[in-house]
Amino acid sequence: MRRTLTALASLIFLAAPAMAQQDLSKVEIKVERLAPGVAVLFGAGGNIGLSYGEDGNAVVDDQFAPLTDKILAAIRTLDPDPVRFVINTHWHFDHSGGNENLGKRGAVIVAHHNVRARMSTPQFLAAMNMKIEPSPKDALPVVTFDDGVTLHLNGDTLHAIHVHNAHTDGDSLVHWQKANVLHMGDTFFHRDSFPFVDLSSGGSIDGVIAAAAKGVEMSNSATRIIPGHGPVASRADLMAYHAMLVDIRAKVAAGMKARRTLVQIKASAPAAHYGMPDGFIKPDAFVEAVYNSLKNPPSRRAFDPALNIMGTGKQSGEPHAH
């Protein structure tokens, strides 16, 4: 029952109005090859990056549990082997919903410490007014990291790099060094919607801007960039997204400095220039998230692997103690 509700909630959570009508049983998984041994899978939920070849398959994110069989069937069109590794870009259930199925089938799940910490404990997504129960053991990452981890697989080097307090407090960017592919997770919403900044999961506008800048720094004009949601993008697309975020943040900050209220700042429509009036995150909702993020910047959470809990008290920028 809980899973059914979660799936329903997920559809509402993720979706553009057209998608909200959609039933997961009708979802088709579409495969787009990006480079030899690298593909992206589109279905419902976060985009899936795939490394395939002689060493086995690794996926970056895995959408929703009811889609696992279809995702595996799509992968088999490229490579018959099972999924050996899952990297989660962050904890949200439209990116990690397939973890339990894949974990039970033997995949090693890898993510930032805070992904495991949030998936192990009850969560509340304030922006959606949604409570989320802890995930079962098989769904949890078994390899967790602080700054990053590297997989040597299928003739390529995959770097998962943690970016602080961005979409959440557990985001990673995943870079295929040789294939020149970069998965941005939900630090990058490409087209149709302003980004969702999950303040209740330790996200911040400044972290999303820094993540976009990091993605620009890690890429070149030939890089194929997989956003968390939306079609495959180029470095120029990511630069335009970064510039949009910087512009809107500056306008909101200027309004706050001039002691305008949130209502007044919204009325000045700092995001209107960019369109996307009907996206999953509408212009006003984004402006409100930027305002709240600047008003209450998150403190960086220290993670204690022994206790599997996050403490508070360390501010971002402070030295990182182990």
In the bound state with Zn ion, the residue whose beta carbon lies nearer, of 92 and 251, is 92
In the bound state with Zn ion, the residue whose beta carbon lies nearer, of 99 and 180, is 99
Q: Please, what is the minimum distance in Å from the beta carbon of residue 230 to Zn ion?
A: 13
Q: Please, what is the minimum distance in Å from the beta carbon of residue 13 to Zn ion?
A: 9
Q: What is the 3-state secondary structure (H, E, C) of the chain?
A: CHHHHHHHHHHHHHCCHHHHCCCHHHCCCEEEEEECCEEEEECCCCCEEEECCCCCEEEECCCCHHHHHHHHHHHHCCCCCCEEEEECCCCCHHHHCCHHHHHHCCCEEEEEHHHHHHHHCCEEEHHHCEEECCCCHHHCCCEEECCEEEEEECCEEEEEEEECCCCCCCEEEEEECCCCEEECHHHCECCCCCCCCCHHHCCCHHHHHHHHHHHHHHCCCCCEEECCECCCECHHHHHHHHHHHHHHHHHHHHHHHCCCCHHHHHHCCCCHHHCCCCCCCCHHHHHHHHHHHHHCCCCEEEEECCCCEEEEEECCCCCCCC
Give the binding-site size for Zn ion (rule: CB under 5 A): 2
Q: Are 316 and 300 in contact (CB under 8 A)?
A: yes
Q: Please, what is the minimum distance in Å from the beta carbon of residue 311 to Zn ion?
A: 23
Q: Please, what is the minimum distance in Å from the beta carbon of residue 15 to Zn ion?
A: 13
In the bound state with Zn ion, the residue whose beta carbon lies nearer, of 180 and 292, is 292
In the bound state with Zn ion, the residue whose beta carbon lies nearer, of 70 and 92, is 92
Q: Please, what is the minimum distance in Å from the beta carbon of residue 285 to Zn ion?
A: 15
In the bound state with Zn ion, the residue whose beta carbon lies nearer, of 92 and 175, is 92
Angle between helices 283-295 and 235-257 (to 10 degrees): 60
Q: Name the segment binding Zn ion (CB under 5 A); options: 64-72, 86-94, 234-242, 297-305.
A: 86-94
Q: Name the segment binding Zn ion (CB under 5 A); options: 87-95, 212-220, 239-247, 301-309.
A: 87-95
In the bound state with Zn ion, the residue whose beta carbon lies nearer, of 113 and 251, is 113
Q: According to CB under 5 A, which residues from 179 to 198 bind Zn ion?
A: 186
In the bound state with Zn ion, the residue whose beta carbon lies nearer, of 229 and 251, is 229
Query: Which residues neighbour 46 within 8 Å (Cβ) at sequence distance 6 or greater?
Result: 61, 63, 89, 92, 94, 95, 185, 186, 228, 229
In the bound state with Zn ion, the residue whose beta carbon lies nearer, of 203 and 255, is 203
Q: Please, what is the minimum distance in Å from the beta carbon of residue 132 to Zn ion?
A: 12
Q: Please, what is the minimum distance in Å from the beta carbon of residue 198 to Zn ion?
A: 6
Q: Please, what is the minimum distance in Å from the beta carbon of residue 171 to Zn ion?
A: 9
Q: Is 92 in the site for Zn ion (CB under 5 A)?
A: yes
Q: According to CB under 5 A, which residues from 245 to 284 bind Zn ion?
A: none
Q: Which residues bind Zn ion (CB under 5 A)?
A: 92, 186
